[in-house]
């Protein structure tokens, strides 16, 4: 069919857009996705999360360029190549971000994206038992909490309180700062991806066509207006036209790549590759941000961690229990408690996040050789380092160059050292006395700034939260790519709606704000007016200027 709207990418934002734009049966919507089906136990079983992000069937297989400040290491960068996008291969952690994040977006030129503007969209998308008045109760995205089956979960929250921090009953509600239960996108024992939330319930809609296996090569432009797309499927190149708009929701890596191949980007760089320039926007691919993190690991003196299940028999039993009853240890991502704190006095809102795990293991599934242990994933939430996504060549089949430029700002080193010290302080609290063995990583002998820096340089890993490469801002801002209605500046009929439009990275995991972007962008595209702004005021520490906790 000839489309009214073409959406590129069935990821976190794209699934939400496809659902909302096709609610009106008059709108003909085509959703293009290069990846295939998300049916299968590796994706749908929450505890199997380390598998899909390491499978070429589901992952684009990107990695960073050699990072100059991390000893030339290339860091893995999994991105979902499957229906549901990265929401089908991520860790399922649900964090909206801090209220101040969105107020900062507005200050940076994203008008109408302050906290009181975006809160109604978070509420529209959520289905949760969270804090009344702050959370959504009837949206498509189910958000749940774990059972805290392991005593180490409680020990972590208690250690936070013993260290002088507060508890928070709902970090996605009134108060983010503090320690408490972590939320996950899991429903009835299954991963609740954007696909499960937004696409499967509407698969019968006649006006929505989803084409999988479609690799979009470029947006078709006529006189600075987007009129369709060119894509490859089954070895054949196809063109698809639309009457209204093309919406790019292809990820913070693929969205700027696609714009550049379509002639939108830094004119001199595009011309040097022989790409005809449609719009000179130097911000396309710039402003790349991410969360870098360390795993701080402690040996556990009691045999109670997930390590006891790290064998084929246990894994088989857990898999069978999940497969036949959607029950047991397969139904959780195992990130069941967490903390959000400020690194020092003078920081207005949390800039450190802790994911606690009752196991010492890496994202690639490599367990600590020491056996029983527990760990936190920790890192600075608002790094000052910025990187870029650039083209290798004019061939859209080539992978892009991705340079995060991690740790290029001196403040990042001090922030990371502080993360390590504050984590050690937590693990040193009385709550852990009955469990605490030796420090596995970094190791108790790593103490001086130089020793800590060497450890960071060798062991820091991406938390897989890239964003910012099609920055939203005022049309007069030369570094902005889209305006506050997600329209690409300098052309017509083209929008970007995904994590690439974030002006600044949010405090937490990116799936929730990415889905929110899809929800809000849909209302901009349909021209139906925004949901009424909230009058809720989120909590900020009253003495943040003088107190760290």
Residues recognised as catalytic: 465
Q: Which two tokens stand for residue 168?
A: 């928070």
Nearest to 182 by CA among 377, 380, 434: 377
Q: How far apart are the first and last CA of the chain?
A: 58
Q: What gap in Å lies between CA 224 and CA 543, rounded to an integer?
A: 51
Q: Which two tokens stand for residue 543?
A: 């003495």
Residue 529, CA distances (Å) to 17, 55, 117, 525, 532 in order: 16, 41, 12, 10, 9
Q: Which two tokens stand for residue 316?
A: 């088989």
| CA-CA-CA-CA dihedral for 528, 534, 535, 536, to nearest 10 | -170
Question: In 36-150, which residue ranges form alpha helices assigned H by DSSP?
Answer: 41-44, 99-107, 115-125
Q: What gap in Å lies between CA 162 and CA 139, rounded to an integer?
A: 37
Q: What gap in Å lies between CA 263 and CA 488, rounded to an integer?
A: 12
For 357, other C-beta atoms within 10 Å of its C-beta total 24
Nearest to 310 by CA among 293, 334, 326: 334
């Amino acid at each position: 069919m000839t489309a009214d709207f073409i959406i590129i990418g069935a990821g976190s934002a794209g699934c939400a857009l496809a659902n909302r734009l096709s609610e009106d049966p008059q709108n003909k919507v085509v959703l293009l996705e290069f990846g295939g089906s998300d049916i299968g136990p590796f994706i749908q079983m929450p505890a199997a999360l380390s598998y899909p992000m390491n499978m070429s069937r589901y992952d684009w297989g990107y990695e960073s360029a050699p990072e100059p400040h991390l000893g030339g290491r290339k860091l893995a960068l999994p991105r979902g190549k499957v229906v549901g996008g990265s929401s089908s291969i991520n860790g399922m952690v649900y964090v909206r971000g801090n209220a101040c994040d969105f107020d900062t977006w507005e200050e940076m030129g994203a008008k109408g994206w302050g906290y009181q503007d975006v809160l109604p969209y978070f509420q529209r998308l959520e289905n949760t038992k969270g804090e009344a008045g702050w959370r959504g109760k009837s949206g498509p995205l189910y958000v749940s909490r774990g059972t805290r089956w392991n005593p180490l979960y409680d020990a972590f929250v208690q250690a936070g309180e013993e260290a002088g921090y507060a508890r928070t009953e709902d970090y996605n509600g009134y108060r983010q700062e503090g320690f408490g239960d972590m939320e996950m996108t899991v429903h009835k024992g299954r991963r609740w991806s954007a696909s499960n939330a937004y696409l499967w319930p509407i698969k019968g809609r006649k006006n929505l066509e989803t084409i999988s296996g479609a690799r979009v090569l470029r947006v078709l432009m006529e006189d600075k207006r987007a009129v369709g797309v060119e894509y490859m499927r089954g070895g054949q190149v196809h063109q698809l036209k639309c009457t209204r708009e093309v919406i790019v929701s292809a990820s913070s890596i693929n969205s700027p790549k696609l714009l550049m191949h379509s002639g939108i980007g830094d004119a001199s760089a595009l011309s040097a590759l022989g790409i005809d320039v449609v719009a000179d926007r130097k911000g396309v691919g710039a402003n790349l941000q991410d969360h870098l993190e360390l795993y701080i690991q402690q040996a556990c003196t009691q045999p109670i961690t997930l390590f006891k299940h790290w064998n084929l028999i246990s894994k088989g039993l857990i898999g069978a229990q999940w497969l036949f009853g959607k029950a047991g240890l397969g139904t959780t991502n195992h990130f069941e408690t967490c903390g959000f704190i400020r690194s020092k006095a003078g920081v207005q809102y949390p800039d450190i996040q802790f994911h606690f795990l009752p196991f010492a293991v890496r994202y690639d599934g490599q367990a600590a050789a020491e056996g029983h242990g527990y760990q936190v994933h920790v890192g600075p939430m608002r790094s000052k380092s910025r990187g870029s996504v650039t083209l290798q060549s004019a061939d859209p089949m080539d992978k892009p160059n991705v340079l995060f430029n991690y740790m290029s700002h001196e403040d990042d080193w001090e922030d990371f050292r502080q993360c390590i010290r504050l984590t050690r302080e937590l693990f040193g609290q009385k709550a852990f006395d009955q469990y605490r063995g030796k420090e596995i990583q970094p190791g108790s002998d790593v103490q001086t700034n130089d020793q800590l820096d060497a450890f960071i340089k060798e062991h820091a890993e991406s938390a897989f939260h890239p964003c910012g490469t099609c920055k939203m801002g005022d049309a007069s801002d030369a570094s902005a790519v889209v305006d506050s209605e997600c329209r690409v500046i300098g052309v017509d009929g083209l929008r970007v709606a995904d994590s690439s439009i974030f002006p600044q990275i949010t405090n937490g995991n990116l799936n929730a704000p990415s889905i929110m972007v899809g929800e809000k962008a849909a209302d901009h595209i349909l021209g139906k007016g925004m949901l009424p702004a909230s009058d809720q005021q989120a909590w900020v520490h009253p003495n943040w200027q003088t107190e760290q906790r």
